[in-house]
């Protein structure tokens, strides 16, 4: 394990990404201890302050401490993104594997996927949240439904390639059962496209949640998320750039770090890129 | 009870495989019958598309499931417990227990026959665990033993390496280790040396021979390489357009081929050229023409359009595969005629 980590962090950029991500996650998890203010405490006289010793990142249009809101918002943003990525990967991988391996199921499954993908992401999510009602869990559910088809497409395409490789036939010639071939022989070969999708979806989900919240169909407004902060702050951006800059930076840094880390893990898992010694 | 050494381990009778395509039915394998004796090698020889590989996939029941196929005939296999089963009608669950365990297969492409994301050891161990119910440690020990057996140096280290770290010849050795790990009684080798260079080919063939001697495995050897057949097979069946056109013990076939196609194939070998006449550059003999489309086979003998010795009777009907009573079979009107005359 230690050896694997050392290999992973041999590239400095991956180490940096991991550290950034770790910091973000730690701050979010320890929000009530590291933040000087309650994220919802308003102080009208201190609205749109610049960063200072009392407000590390300044204040927003209602005088709420930006650092505290980003820290608490991180909890929700990260949780939503992680749950979305997990759900979409799970559903999409299952769908894609089945559609790619069992040719009879391919056409019916993929037409459903096509139908879902033909609707614009945000529109579909809005419709779903409108039906389900706005809550944190329903936002996750809607986003999972939006991103599952994408994963399914990618996984199906890779499955189609891998299932034709000779080692799959060789596995059948060894008397290995179909489900085991799928699970043990095909799925591990799909890990790198799946990981790449996971890091994309994680980043997309943060942004999509922001868009939904901005349109009023996201998480309830009393819950701070990075998305709601950017959305809510944008009309004050010309007075104090910080209200959108800092939560925006949090989104960018997290998404970017995740992509770099995902890339590093993918390289690590690809045995062809492994150094033999 | 018949003698164990003369009861064929595999007895294929009237095997036919038909693919139903959008353009019509393709009879890839028709009326194929042959025996494989315990510890002996039967070679199926033929050019690309002659139905050799389809024969082996049909026997293993590994034809692509997306293809619409009809399989007829029987393939009686004497399993380890001495029971005779028909491979073509065995339930899928029992067939899975046969595959890899009693009948194993080696493929042509060692570069893609191994799963790139697992170590060599894990891949061999998987099959042993599956069929022998061995524990992980036992299976790995068996894998290591197999790597030693196929003469891979530093087996203990190779066990933990990935396929891409091995050369083509090494990978084919691993494939053989994988195939032999469960002591199969029948090994189907589908062009096992075609993708390897000549020196490695010889090593791999020698290795297969050694294992056959030690373990008493029967081998169905599928190849287009007549030189390999001459050295490594006991019985030969020559296939053309899905049918066996001539079957004989290896020495007799090479000494006196009877079917015009076999004669043509042997004449194509560089060492077997007729004396050079004329002044131009010396050319290798080649059988003229090409295999007729499987969708529109000729009315009579499939080889007639390319044969130098056709007579009108050739186009009337497909000749029967006639046995001469001394272990040889030929599918040609010319031998039909001589046997009728006799």
User: Chain A within 8 Å of B195 (Cβ-Cβ)?
Assistant: no
A-contacting residues in B 277-336 (Cβ below 8 Å): none
Helices (H) and strands (E) in chain A, counts: 12, 0
> In this complex, which of B62, B112, B165 lies closest to A172 when CB atoms are compared?
B62
CATH fourth-level superfamily of A10-34+63-271: MetI-like (1.10.3720.10)
CA distances B107 to A131, A168, B111, B175, Å, are 55, 12, 10, 8
Residue of chain B whose alpha carbon sits nearest to that of A181: B115
- What is the least distance, in Å, from the CA of B235 to any CA of chain A? 24
**How confident is the prediction for chain A on average, in pLDDT?**
85
- For B342, counting Cβ atoms within 10 Å of its Cβ (0-12 exposed, 13-18 middle, 19+ buried), the class is exposed
- Contact assignment for B96 to A271 by CB distance below 8 Å: no
User: Chain A within 8 Å of B97 (Cβ-Cβ)?
Assistant: yes
In the predicted structure, residue A276 carries a pLDDT above the cut 60: no
**What is the model's pLDDT at position B340?**
65
In the predicted structure, residue A121 carries a pLDDT above the cut 90: no
**What is the model's pLDDT at position B196?**
80
In the predicted structure, residue A56 carries a pLDDT above the cut 80: no
In the predicted structure, residue B5 carries a pLDDT above the cut 60: no
In the predicted structure, residue A277 carries a pLDDT above the cut 60: no
Confidence label for A39 from pLDDT (cuts 50, 70 and 90): confident
B131 falls within a domain: yes
**What is the model's pLDDT at position A225?**
86
B225 falls within a domain: no
Neighbours of A23 (CB within 10 A): 13
ipTM computed for the complex: 0.80
**What is the model's pLDDT at position B201?**
86
In the predicted structure, residue B1 carries a pLDDT above the cut 60: no
Which tens digit of pLDDT belongs to each residue from A150-196?
A: 999 999 999 999 988 889 989 999 989 899 999 989 999 898 889 88
Which of A205-209, B52-56, B255-259, B318-322 is predicted least confidently?
A: A205-209
B231 falls within a domain: no
Examine the fold and report which residue of B150, B181, B212 is the final residue of a domain before the chain moves on.
B181
**What is the model's pLDDT at position B122?**
93
In the predicted structure, residue B308 carries a pLDDT above the cut 90: no
Domain coverage including residue B149: 111-181
In the predicted structure, residue A275 carries a pLDDT above the cut 60: no
In the predicted structure, residue B298 carries a pLDDT above the cut 50: yes
A2 token code pair = 């230690």
Domain count, chain B: 2
Which tens digit of pLDDT belongs to each residue from B111-162?
A: 888 998 899 999 999 999 999 988 999 999 999 999 998 889 999 899 999 9
Examine the fold and report which residue of B163, B181, B199 is the final residue of a domain before the chain moves on.
B181
- Phi, psi at A117, each rounded to 5°: -75, -20
Neighbouring residues of B209: CB distance < 8 A, sequence distance ≥ 6: B232
Confidence label for A273 from pLDDT (cuts 50, 70 and 90): low
- What is the least distance, in Å, from the CA of B97 to any CA of chain A? 6
The rounded distance, in Å, linking the Cα atoms of A194 and B40 is: 48
Helices (H) and strands (E) in chain B, counts: 11, 12
User: Chain A within 8 Å of B183 (Cβ-Cβ)?
Assistant: no
- Phi, psi at B76, each rounded to 5°: -85, 120
Domain boundaries defined on chain A: 10-34+63-271
Examine the fold and report which residue of B181, B198, B219 is the final residue of a domain before the chain moves on.
B181
Which tens digit of pLDDT belongs to each residue from B179-238?
A: 999 989 999 999 888 878 888 888 888 989 999 998 899 999 999 888 889 888 999 999
- What is the least distance, in Å, from the CA of A172 to any CA of chain B? 7
């Amino acid at each position: 394990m230690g050896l694997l980590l050392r290999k992973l962090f041999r590239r400095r950029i991956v180490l940096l990404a991991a550290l950034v991500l770790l910091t973000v996650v730690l701050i979010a998890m320890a929000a009530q201890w590291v933040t000087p203010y309650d994220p919802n405490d308003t102080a009208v006289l201190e609205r749109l302050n610049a960063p200072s010793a009392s407000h590390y990142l300044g204040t927003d249009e209602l005088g709420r401490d930006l650092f505290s809101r980003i820290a608490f918002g991180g909890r929700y943003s990260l949780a939503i993104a992680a749950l979305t990525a997990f759900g979409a990967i799970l559903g999409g991988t299952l769908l894609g594997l089945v559609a790619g391996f069992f040719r009879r199921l391919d056409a019916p499954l993929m037409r459903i996927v096509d139908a879902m993908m033909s609707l614009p992401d945000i529109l579909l999510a809005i419709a779903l949240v409108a039906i389900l009602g706005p809550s944190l869990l329903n936002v996750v559910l809607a986003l999972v439904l939006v991103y599952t088809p994408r994963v399914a497409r990618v996984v199906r395409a890779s499955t189609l390639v891998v299932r034709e490789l000779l080692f799959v036939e060789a596995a059948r010639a060894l008397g290995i059962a179909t489900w085991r071939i799928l699970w043990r022989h095909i799925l591990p070969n799909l890990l790198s496209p799946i990981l790449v999708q996971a890091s994309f979806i994680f980043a997309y989900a943060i942004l999509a949640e922001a868009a939904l919240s901005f349109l009023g169909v996201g998480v309830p407004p009393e819950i701070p998320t990075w998305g709601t902060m950017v959305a809510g702050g944008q009309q004050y951006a010309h007075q104090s750039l910080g209200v959108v800059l800092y939560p925006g930076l949090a989104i960018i840094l997290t998404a970017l770090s995740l992509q770099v880390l995902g890339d590093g893990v993918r390289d690590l898992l690809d045995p062809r890129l492994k150094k033999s010694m | 009870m018949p003698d164990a050494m003369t009861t064929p381990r595999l007895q294929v009778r009237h095997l036919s495989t038909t693919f139903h395509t959008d353009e019509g039915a393709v009879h890839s394998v028709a009326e194929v019958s042959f025996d494989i004796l315990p510890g002996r090698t039967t070679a199926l020889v033929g050019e690309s598309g002659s139905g050799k590989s389809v024969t082996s996939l049909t026997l293993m029941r590994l034809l692509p499931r997306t293809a619409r196929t009809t399989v007829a005939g029987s393939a009686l296999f004497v399993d380890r417990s001495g029971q005779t089963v028909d491979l073509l009608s065995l339930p899928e669950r029992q067939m899975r227990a046969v595959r890899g365990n009693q009948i194993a297969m080696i493929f042509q492409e060692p570069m893609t026959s191994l799963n790139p994301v697992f170590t060599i050891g894990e891949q061999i161990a998987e099959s042993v665990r599956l069929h022998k119910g061995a524990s992980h440690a036992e299976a790995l020990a068996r894998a290591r033993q197999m790597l030693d057996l196929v003469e891979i140096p530093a087996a203990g280290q190779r066990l933990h390496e990935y396929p891409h770290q091995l050369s083509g010849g090494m990978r084919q050795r691993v494939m053989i280790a994988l195939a032999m790990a469960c002591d199969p009684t029948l090994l189907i080798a589908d062009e096992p040396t075609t993708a390897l260079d000549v020196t490695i080919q010889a090593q791999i063939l020698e290795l297969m021979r050694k294992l056959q001697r030690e373990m008493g495995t029967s081998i169905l050897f599928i190849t287009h390489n007549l030189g390999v057949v001459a050295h490594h097979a006991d019985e030969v069946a020559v296939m053309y357009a899905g049918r066996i056109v001539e079957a004989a013990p290896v020495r007799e076939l090479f000494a006196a081929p009877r079917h015009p196609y076999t004669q043509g194939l042997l004449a194509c070998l560089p060492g077997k050229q007729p004396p050079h006449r004329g002044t131009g550059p010396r050319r290798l003999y080649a059988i003229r023409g090409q295999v007729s489309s499987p969708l529109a086979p000729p009315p009579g003998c499939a080889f007639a359009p390319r044969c130098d010795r056709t007579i009108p009777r050739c186009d009337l009907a497909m000749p029967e595969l006639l046995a001469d009573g001394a272990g040889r079979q030929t599918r040609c009107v010319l031998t039909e005629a001589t046997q009728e005359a006799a």
